[in-house]
Structure 1
């Protein structure tokens, strides 16, 4: 790469301050040194980035385009430096973590003891919310979100994905019979009880191939806001449910829940991400926790 980071920094600072003199003061350089950096950059790029007048400095069209790229490069370098710094520091202080109840119980709680043994100076605060919260408003440092992300202002690290399946208990099937056709789930005459979510409604789209090969949208007779509540209802034989593998793996292995319509089930996986705002003061705690999750989950994550 011909361009240096010092030249990019000089260019961005001049563009932000609108003055070579002000940029030089901010960078701790001489005016001539900053001016030479800009000159070298324009020469390497064979283009004019800034128009210099007696009163002010303006970006050319090429300068505006290059400025956006320069910011990306400098931002990436800064993030990499922060990450390396975080890894060198000994994490300490309070770390507030939020996750939906099922993920908290089945994925995080079993890993708390190991994390605390490795990082005893971190004080964990674990909170459960079934919906998406505002991290700043709830004073939360790190949240685990399942499903597609919408908030682009958050930094996200993928920690895996989890398949969803349609399940029922042996007790329920003994009393109601096993449905033979997907269409039976939408037929009141079939006598089946469906367990689903109060919101969002998208969680009531089950990965079953309907007549048009689209996921089956069900109308549950019993609804709950928490997947853990639905799991407990299914274990009690109260109905048919659609839940994620991370919370039902042991139930399926032990035979407490049985998968229905295995051949008609579409391959649908829910992405799982750790999300947080960039904050240098917290970065070592956040990095240590997410790295520990990835390490203990292993390369296969939530897969069977």
Structure 2
């Protein structure tokens, strides 16, 4: 039995002076109120009320317990009132996990705007390339860049990106421009070591899928580091358009083998469940969806 129901019944009996009036106040039967009070006394192992045919009175233990009951019931009512008052309002701590490169390049500048829109939300933003366990580690949401998000999570797609093979003009002038993915095995490669396919780089060309094994000159878990080395002529990279888009537009990097397209990826916001989604999480999801409605990088 709900302890709060027992306490409500007990307090109502004392306040009204009878089981009948308490039942009317609680919109239940006299029998139900009597049972709740009896179960409360049995559970506590003390008598809370003196009962006579004419009146009810509190025992010494009843007086002490009534004071505590009212404190707890008032606290519960205040909590319920506060939650009701904030229904639909984004409030509280929002914990988010985001990829390092994407988080620094595109999300860092967005969080201040979110804070301005939702002044009662505090942010805790964790940047990591590790795929965290949202439930186990207590995150409200995460941004992930993948072909498909985890089936155990709820996701909303924010944008699309694709991996682009590129290099600096200086590197291509020095080492030559590949004409087929098979030639990549003879080139210097700067590899992102968290790529799902590892050293097996995949492409879809005019004659169908092509997979080539590369031998990286450098490996790193940072796409930004790969791109920086590529701009300095150190090798070929396979990086997403959200990282290399500006370099391609400026000419710092040149797309190689454009007729061979590589993996298409989605940028997703993921969260544990649609059930009882809090206003702060809903606000963050909607904010990110609007922010990436027109991505800043080329398709």
TM-score by length of 2: 0.63
> How many residues align structurally?
217
User: 1:200, 1:242 → 2: CA distance?
Assistant: 9
What corresponds to 2:121 in structure 1?
A: 122
- Shift in CA distance, 150/182, structure 1 to aligned 2, threshold 3 Å: closer
- Shift in CA distance, 181/150, structure 1 to aligned 2, threshold 3 Å: closer
- Shift in CA distance, 154/264, structure 1 to aligned 2, threshold 3 Å: closer
Q: Which runs of 5+ in 2 are unaligned?
A: 1-26, 29-83
What corresponds to 1:46 in structure 2?
A: none
- Shift in CA distance, 217/133, structure 1 to aligned 2, threshold 3 Å: farther
Q: What does 1:92-131 align with in structure 2 at a 5 Å threshold?
A: 92-131=91-130
Tell me how far 1:200 sits from its aligned partner. Answer: 4.6
User: 2:234, 2:151 → 1: CA distance?
Assistant: 39
Deviations 1:19-55 (A, max 9, x none): xxxxxxxxx99xxxxxxxxxxxxxxxxxxxxxxxxxx
Q: What does 1:47-86 align with in structure 2 at a 5 Å threshold?
A: none
Asked if 1 retains the 8 angstrom alpha-carbon contact of 2:181 and 2:210, the reply is no
Secondary structure at the counterpart of residue 248 of structure 1: helix
Deviations 1:159-200 (A, max 9, x none): 1221211011223223323223322112x3xxx201113235
User: 1:292, 1:286 → 2: CA distance?
Assistant: 10
Q: Which runs of 5+ in 1 are unaligned?
A: 1-27, 30-84
What corresponds to 1:49 in structure 2?
A: none
TM-score by length of 1: 0.62
What corresponds to 2:233 in structure 1?
A: 237
Larger gyration radius, structure 1 or structure 2:
2
Asked if 2 retains the 8 angstrom alpha-carbon contact of 1:198 and 1:224, the reply is yes
What corresponds to 1:34 in structure 2?
A: none
RMSD between superposed Cα atoms in Å? 3.0
What corresponds to 1:152 in structure 2?
A: 151
